[in-house]
Structure 1
């Protein structure tokens, strides 16, 4: 029987045409190549090469077995290339679940630019509610999730991705567009669009109005920021929502103005607790942070 080492030396001699070439290819000495070849021929009880004029000539038996040996080393080299691609983050899969405004905003842009240099990486991006995102991560249906705080579960690890603030989104002909920032009290005369009571941000909006001593007209309540932004665009009122989709999606006809006092929130990266992080996931998190840091959203 030929061992893998026998096959390696035989393959190297066949490819290079000489013991010297095989030694150079395998980075060993010529005597080492000769010794392995002699042992292989002894084990097989047949000659693989004949010396003719100082050169090795493959026997008919060598020609017969070479295609199968070459196929084996073709697969070995393929495995090596695969390992290099995996280490370099150029091959593999990436599965992410994210809250709707995140998935359809800067995350979509970051994933698109991430894949430009990694065309062989295959991605899955699910757009969900924050509780659904947490559920997907806990059940390990995705490798990572992105959602707004609070995230409370002993089954996951979290780290802050970014902090941001709710803002006023209004049509570009609204009376308040001349202001760089808007105090909550100034919104009293205008219909307000904001989140439904069960949405995590709504209590903070209500508290801001209460502390300002006003009772605005909540004309429309929505479950996601995009709905509020589009309602504001069509003149239904001033939307107090996550404003990031305005820039990331390039929504025309509306402007964003800062709200005072600030209603701050954080976006968290969620991953299964104690689960190994793939190279692709780590590279993507770094890329996502860079996209946000460089203001590409």
Structure 2
């Protein structure tokens, strides 16, 4: 059995006669008859009965035709899927983000992306930066956004955003009377901080040391921007926050003031190094860039 025999068999089934099938295929009638006979010999049963100079499909022939049609429909689905992948990507994109961007910038990018790609499903996970990095390396995520302290070896990476941190102060706190906050203003105050390995925390510690100021009193350390914001809103202490980290939250219970010298909260865009970017990933990156 070969594909040419199947093609001719289908033509005969659709045309109803050997002569009409030969005409449609542009071949001779004896050639069609010979091919059908060869196919019958190959499958081991008759495909057509000859009744009064007419051919009538046998029950076995009809069953085979049904299977062939099902196979053709499967091929059509494969062709359609290939066209969708060519034009739109795989139909799903998996994104991971650090907390500081996961409540504001990234959701806005998802909205923009959904406007462009309404048929594409998006998985968004907000995770610690190390888990974002590991997920991109393992292939669990198509792209990720992480703090700049992560190990970027084995990844394609580029700087993403580097906003200047603001000092967040609980409403009614004495520091809220200041128009500008400096390291000396933080001396001895209850302070909500990121964990010591956080690069923005390290930049703040360096700024305090270089200013010769007494350090604040660290009362809570955490890895999540949303947790820092929530703790400050509850009056636990003051802290430095990225403007991206607080954009999606109610700011009525805090006061924001510039901090001098500048402390930046830097992030990087991470991509797997072992595979090229799909069109979906390119489109999502375009949406991220548009929302920066």
Q: TM-score, structure 2 length as denominator?
A: 0.73
> In the TM superposition, what are the counterparts of 1:40-51 in structure 2 within 5 Å?
40-45=35-40
| Partners of 2:263 and 2:125 in 1: CA distance | 27
CA contact (8 A) 1:194 1:218 kept: no
Residue number in structure 1 paired with 2:234: 234
Of the structure 1 ranges 203-212 and 6-15, higher mean CA displacement relative to structure 2 is found in: 6-15
1:182 aligns with one of 180, 183, 187: 180
Q: Mark the CA change 1:57 to 1:268 in structure 2 (over 3 Å): closer, same or farther.
A: farther
Cα deviation 1:61-115 (Å, max 9, x = unaligned): 6544321111111111111122122223364443344333334443344346545
Question: Displacement of 1:230 after TM fit?
Answer: 1.3
**1:269 counterpart residue number:** 269
Find the partner of 1:290 among 270, 287, 291: 287
Q: Which range moved further: 199-208 or 110-119?
A: 110-119
Alpha carbons 1:183, 1:261 under 8 Å: kept = no
Q: Secondary structure at the match of 1:168?
A: strand
**8 Å CA contact 2:105, 2:291 repeated in 1:** no
Given the superposition, is the C-alpha separation of residues 12 and 263 from structure 1 closer, same or farther in structure 2, using an over 3 Å criterion?
farther
CA contact (8 A) 1:160 1:269 kept: yes
Counting only pairs closer than 5 Å after superposition, residues 177-256 of structure 1 correspond to structure 2 as 182-185=180-183, 187-188=185-186, 191-223=190-222, 224-250=224-250, 252-256=252-256
Distance in 2 of aligned mates of 1:191 and 1:265: 21
Which stretch has the larger CA shift, 96-105 or 181-190? 181-190
**Does the aligned pair in 1 maintain the 2:93–2:142 contact within 8 Å?**
yes
Secondary structure at 2:275's aligned position in 1?
coil
Residue 71 of structure 2 corresponds to: 72
- In the TM superposition, residue 204 of structure 1 has moved relative to its aligned partner by 0.8
Alignment length (residue pairs): 283
Question: Hey, what's the Cα distance between the residues in 2 that align with 1:250 and 1:164?
Answer: 20
> Any conservation in 2 of the 1:90–1:119 contact (CA below 8 Å)?
no
Of 78-87 and 134-143, deviating more is 134-143
Distance 1:262 1:193, change over 3 A: same
The 2-side partners of 1:12 and 1:33 are apart by 13
Larger radius of gyration: 2
Structure 1 residue 59: deviation in Å? Answer: 3.6
Residues 242 and 265 of structure 2 are in contact (CA less than 8 Å); yes or no, is this contact kept in structure 1? no
Deviation (angstroms), 1:239 = 1.6
Shift of 1:149: 0.8
More strand by share: 1
Deviation of 1:287 (Å): 2.2
SS in 2 for 1:222: strand
Q: How far, CA to CA, are the matches of 2:257 and 2:99 in structure 1?
A: 22
Q: Secondary structure at the match of 2:180?
A: strand
Tell me: CA distance 1:287–1:17, structure 2 relative to 1, closer, same or farther (3 Å). farther
SS at match of 2:213: coil
SS at match of 1:182: coil
Kindly indicate whether the alpha-carbon contact (under 8 Å) linking 2:47 and 2:58 is maintained by their aligned counterparts in 1: no
Report the aligned-residue RMSD: 4.2
Pair 1:287–1:168, CA change in 2 (3 A):
same
